Amino acid sequence: EKGGYEHYMLKEIHEQPDVLARTLEGRLRPDTGDVDLGGEGWEDSDLANVERVQVVACGTALHAGYIARYMIEGLAGVPVDIDFASEFRYRDPRLVKNTMALAISQSGETADTLAALRLARDLGARPTSICNVVGSTVMRESSATLLTEAGPEIGVASTKAFVAQVVAAYLLALRMGRANGRISREQGREMIEELKRLRARMETVLAPEAVEHIRELADRHRNVKGFFFLGRGINFPIALEGALKLKEISYMHAEGYPAGEMKHGPIALIEPDLTTVVVNSIGGVSEKSRSNIEQVKARGGRVIAVGSDRQSHEIAEEAVVVPESSEWLSPVLNVIPLQLLAYHIADLRGCDIDKPRNLAKSVTVE
């Protein structure tokens, strides 16, 4: 059932192009430059008057939520707040009228996410979700759910569910922007075209020689003291996700930061025995991240550049080349090498990849 792969995690990483295809299936409407999210509650009348989106989630799903924030604000022009579900539920949050609460959850059973969604609903928000399990509690308690089509995820470290959540967030941003008029039919069509080009690009990142290259990187860096992941803009959450994946399955110390925060403390960690991964694709902030690479190098740190920004590859001593795409979708491509890096480091260190210590697949109690 592992389909010839040594671990579920590796199988699930390789399933991601299919997950993308399934999450898009039947939903694209190129004629109107729009998407059909399936199910009820995603009509123009449900979305056109949304004044604010409040995202609540945990762990990897929260990282997808940060990406959703960039997409919904940048494409649909709607302000987005996001919080750890566990913090939201014990604060005294204030919601403006016409808030759409958006829970993101693979399982749909995470205790904090569910409690946060219920609280937002009690405060007058409309409860909605991006979820992978039909009939889950989060789905039943939402007035609209965008289902991800990742299929059952067995590996405790979430991979394919994350990619499906990010693609779902892009679809939601497109639908909201079409509903409120911020996205034109022509722009909607171009966004759909970009989605259609994504599968082949994902396959490039997963090609045998690309995977082998990452295994070699993993081998060279598997005994360093720790890892530091940096990214900006829509790839800042990918830095968080790269660090989380590595911690979860290899038990190595890893920190994920927005690159601009580096000088506010974490730069003190830089030394030759700490590897810095800078996620940088071509886009509005790539020049800024390039200068972060220079700064790490100037302090004697080793840098691996990951993304489509070629100039970063020239500055860093090691690189993972990722195909160019629209900046909005670059996180989908950039996360894959980081999943593989965590996987191979954990494998080379002899860790129990599918069942990492101290972790449960679904956190249904606090």
Query: Would you count residue 137 as binding ligand M6R (CB under 6 A)?
Result: no
Contact 189/239 with Cβ under 8 angstroms? no
Q: Which is nearer to ligand M6R, 145 or 158 (CB)?
A: 158
| Single residue of 107, 137, 292, 308 touching ligand M6R by CB under 6 A | 107
Pick the piece of the chain touching ligand M6R (CB under 6 A) from 52-60, 75-83, 306-314, 340-348.
52-60
Question: Nearest approach, Cβ of 148 to ligand M6R (angstroms)?
Answer: 10
Minimal CB distance residue for ligand M6R: 59
DSSP code per residue over 250-263: H---EEEEEGGGGG
Query: Would you count residue 59 as binding ligand M6R (CB under 6 A)?
Result: yes
Question: Nearest approach, Cβ of 196 to ligand M6R (angstroms)?
Answer: 27
| Single residue of 158, 235, 275, 276 touching ligand M6R by CB under 6 A | 158
Measured distance CA(56)–CA(66) in Å, rounded: 10
Contact 295/265 with Cβ under 8 angstroms? no
Question: Nearest approach, Cβ of 144 to ligand M6R (angstroms)?
Answer: 18
Residues 238-277, mask of contacts with ligand M6R (x by CB under 6 A): ----------x-----------------------------
Query: Would you count residue 110 as binding ligand M6R (CB under 6 A)?
Result: yes
| Single residue of 16, 99, 113, 281 touching ligand M6R by CB under 6 A | 113
Beta bridge partners of 274: 226
| Single residue of 295, 311, 326, 362 touching ligand M6R by CB under 6 A | 362
361 is catalytic: yes
Q: Which is nearer to ligand M6R, 230 or 240 (CB)?
A: 240
Full 3-state SS string of the chain:
CCCCCCCHHHHHHHCHHHHHHHHHCCCEECCCCEECCCCCCCCHHHHCCCCEEEEEECHHHHHHHHHHHHHHHHHHCCCEEEEEHHHHCCCCCCCCCCEEEEEEECCCCCHHHHHHHHHHHHCCCEEEEEECCCCCHHHHCCCEEEECCCCCCCCCCCCHHHHHHHHHHHHHHHHHHHHHCCCCHHHHHHHHHHHHHHHHHHHHHCCHHHHHHHHHHHHHHCCCCEEEEEECHHHHHHHHHHHHHHHHHHCCCEEEEEHHHHHHCHHHHCCCCEEEEEECCCCCCHHHHHHHHHHHHHCCCEEEEEECCHHHHHHCCEEEECCCCCHHHHHHHHHHHHHHHHHHHHHHCCCCCCCCCCCCCCCCCC
Q: Which is nearer to ligand M6R, 156 or 296 (CB)?
A: 156
Pick the piece of the chain touching ligand M6R (CB under 6 A) from 7-15, 36-44, 155-163, 267-275.
155-163
Contact 254/229 with Cβ under 8 angstroms? yes
Query: Would you count residue 145 as binding ligand M6R (CB under 6 A)?
Result: no
Measured distance CA(315)–CA(305) in Å, rounded: 9
Query: Would you count residue 355 as binding ligand M6R (CB under 6 A)?
Result: no
| Single residue of 55, 75, 156, 306 touching ligand M6R by CB under 6 A | 156
Pick the piece of the chain touching ligand M6R (CB under 6 A) from 57-65, 143-151, 228-236, 297-305.
57-65
Question: Nearest approach, Cβ of 355 to ligand M6R (angstroms)?
Answer: 11
Pick the piece of the chain touching ligand M6R (CB under 6 A) from 54-62, 72-80, 142-150, 256-264.
54-62
Q: Which is nearer to ligand M6R, 34 or 241 (CB)?
A: 241
Query: Would you count residue 148 as binding ligand M6R (CB under 6 A)?
Result: no
Q: Residue 274 belongs to what H/E stretch?
A: strand 274-279
Question: Nearest approach, Cβ of 159 to ligand M6R (angstroms)?
Answer: 8
Catalytic residue, candidates 196, 263, 297, 361: 361
As annotated, the active-site residues are 361
Tell me which residues touch ligand M6R (CB under 6 A).
Answer: 58-61, 105-107, 110, 113, 156-158, 248, 359, 362-363
